Chains A and B, each alone.
Chain A
Amino acid sequence: MKHIFLSLGFLVFAMQDLSAATLYVSNEKDNNLSLIDLDSLEVIDTIEVGERPRGITFSKDFSKLYICASDSDSVQVLDVGSKKIITDLPSGEDPEQFALHPNDRHLYISNEEDAIVTIVDTESRTVIAQIDVGVEPEGMAISPDGRWAVNTSETTNMLHWIDTSNYQLVDNTLVDQRPRHVEFTHDGAMLWASSEIGGTVTVVDVSSRKMLHQLSFKIPGVNQDRIQPVGITLTSEGNLAFVALGPANHVAVVDTTSYEVIKYLLVGRRVWHLELDNYDKYLYTSNGVSGDVSVIDVNKLKVIKSIKVGRYPWGLAIKP
């Protein structure tokens, strides 16, 4: 009997492993999401959503997808099972990027035009706090322990540290021009921040909130002013970081120990954001101008395919 249960358990595990994961891509200009089957690497569905969808993120159980519909001035909630928008959350004006707190309940939203961060309770659908930050807030990340929410302001060139226990802005870290995206390391000890105009990535020590290291990039044959870092992602082991370099059309692969760039990978035009799968096997990039998603084999550090999606793909999220 025990063997039967074990076999059944293995079968269920195997079936889960076999069932294909799906990559959700927000298409900024087409007001929809493209769904890519990650086995066949083909677009299998398109879902109409609000205007100018940008940042997207799943709830912990993957039953809901939150969508920043910037020009609809709302964060929409998509029921993943029925593929229907079930509600709009009060997000403040022009939401661009957001981050879901580890409590799976509080969304921290950047409101680009109002220079504020709005915190929304996704269960009660109410705004629980609004915090003044620098001009043109954009990037948003929450530390793995849930203590810090960090927001970047594109014009003030700062990282704003928000204490999530009392929703107070407690510190600022000055970085290079136009910070666009922030990403915590998986152990929460460091924060990586990209500066689009500065062309750099700043690594910040979370405990002191001071700069530890600054990376710059140089791609043979590409003009330096086209190197504009935006999206960042780190492998779960934390040994590699990937940085999307915007109109340079490359993704930089960085050794996180030496902070050396190991390789530059050619992807589509104006690469914005990055998403790693759960096994760190494949990395997906949204290429805004060429309207496609490039697939990178992480072990081989090779781009294996580019998949056409809608116009101006922006946000990426994987449903296992």
Chain B
Amino acid sequence: MTGSAYLNCFYGILYRELYRFVQQRSRFLSALVRPLLWLVVFAAGFRAALGVSIIPPYETYISYEVYITPGLIGIILLFNGMQGSLSMVVDREMGSMRVLLTSPFPRSYLLICKLFSIALISSIQAYVFLFIASWFDINAPLAGYFYLLPACLIAGLMLAAVGLFISSLVRQLENFAGIMNFVIFPMFFLSSALYPLWKMREANDWLFQVCQVNPFTYAVELIRFSLYAKWNGSAFMVVAITTILFVLAAVAGYNPRMGLLGRKATGE
């Protein structure tokens, strides 16, 4: 198998994801409307709530809209990552992945291509969201928009990998609401996306501890710091390690000899 064959395979998977992204306009719109509703409606009531403390990477007082913008980029990546990966449940049964998974390419390579495609599409949506947010006077330094891309890609990879791992555990995607309730919402609410952690600690120390072990918190902080052209080494490390662990777990999950799928299929 040559390098160009691998590249062709990647292009194929990326093209398919892009094609699906362009075709499913309602999915794209809902992915944008969701964070915009948070920004325009939810945040309006809390506009002055945060002007009491300066937290890095900010150098002055900020409005609530400014605070939650990185968290809303996070929710775009989270929803898109989960939806993209969970579509594998259907895709592996009757979609193009069914064909690809039987191809001579290593399964791990195919899955990583899929994850990277999802992360790239999520990042495009994040930039469209930021463009709309700029109409509401939410702007970052110019350098921040460049630093944001690698941060979005790695955070998008992590969240897609989590979704892929979950998809390896479920046989049929009948209850996406269950995934929403037990995975997406807890990850989102128990993080620094909506409230800074010091506020969470004031409210409840137990909740603060949960937020601290939630990898989504670190994804949001990596995005937040990058958007303001600042480096957050600890957030990067947590996101990178979590990404590697979940990619390995998902690859194992999709291995017919090791994974749950294989065991289920063989009735073990």
Q: How far is A55 from B123 in the complex, measured between Cα atoms in Å?
A: 52
Q: Which of B117-172 contact A (CB under 8 A)?
A: none
Q: Which residues in B have their C-beta under 8 angstroms from that of A220?
A: 44, 47
A73 to chain B, nearest CB (A): 35
Contact between chains at A221 and B44 (CB < 8 Å) = yes
Please judge, given known A-B contacts A249-B51, A266-B51, A269-B52, whether A303 and B44 are in contact too, CB under 8 Å: no
Contact between chains at B60 and A221 (CB < 8 Å) = no
Q: Which residue of A lies closest to B52 (CB)?
A: A269
Per-residue 0/1 for A280-305: is the Cβ within 8 Å of any B Cβ (1 yes, 0 no)?
00000000001010110000000111
- B7 within 8 A of partner (CB): no
Q: Which residues in A have their C-beta under 8 angstroms from that of B62?
A: 266
Q: How far is A266 from B59 in the complex, measured between Cα atoms in Å?
A: 12
A178 to chain B, nearest CB (A): 23
Q: Which residues in B have their C-beta under 8 angstroms from that of A219?
A: 48
- A97 within 8 A of partner (CB): no
Contact between chains at B63 and A266 (CB < 8 Å) = yes
Contact between chains at B60 and A267 (CB < 8 Å) = yes
List the interface of chain A (C-beta within 8 A of B): 219-222, 249, 266-269, 290, 292, 294-295, 303-306
B54 to chain A, nearest CB (A): 6
Q: Which residue of A lies closest to B43 (CB)?
A: A221
- B45 within 8 A of partner (CB): yes
Residue among A221, A267, A303 having the largest count of chain B Cβ atoms under 10 Å? A221
Q: How far is A221 from B50 in the complex, measured between Cα atoms in Å?
A: 12
What is the total number of residues of chain B having a CB less than 8 Å from a CB of chain A?
13
Please judge, given known A-B contacts A267-B60, A267-B61, whether A306 and B54 are in contact too, CB under 8 Å: yes
Q: Which residues in A have their C-beta under 8 angstroms from that of B63?
A: 266
Q: Which residues in A have their C-beta under 8 angstroms from that of B61?
A: 249, 266-268, 290, 294, 303, 306
Per-residue 0/1 for B41-85: is the Cβ within 8 Å of any A Cβ (1 yes, 0 no)?
000111110011010000111110000000000000000000000
Q: How far is A192 from B133 in the complex, measured between Cα atoms in Å?
A: 36
Q: Which residue of B lies closest to A220 (CB)?
A: B47
The 10 closest A-B pairs by CB, nearest first: A221-B47, A306-B60, A305-B59, A221-B48, A303-B60, A266-B61, A249-B51, A305-B60, A222-B48, A266-B51
Q: How far is A292 from B52 in the complex, measured between Cα atoms in Å?
A: 12
Q: How far is A269 from B44 in the complex, measured between Cα atoms in Å?
A: 20
Find A221's partner among B45, B52, B54, B59 (CB 8 Å cutoff).
B45
Contact between chains at B59 and A306 (CB < 8 Å) = yes
A220-B47, A266-B62 known; 15 other A-B pairs, CB under 8 Å? A221-B46, A221-B47, A221-B48, A222-B47, A249-B48, A249-B51, A266-B48, A266-B60, A290-B52, A290-B61, A294-B61, A303-B60, A303-B61, A306-B59, A306-B60
Q: Which of B11-66 contact A (CB under 8 A)?
A: 44-48, 51-52, 54, 59-63
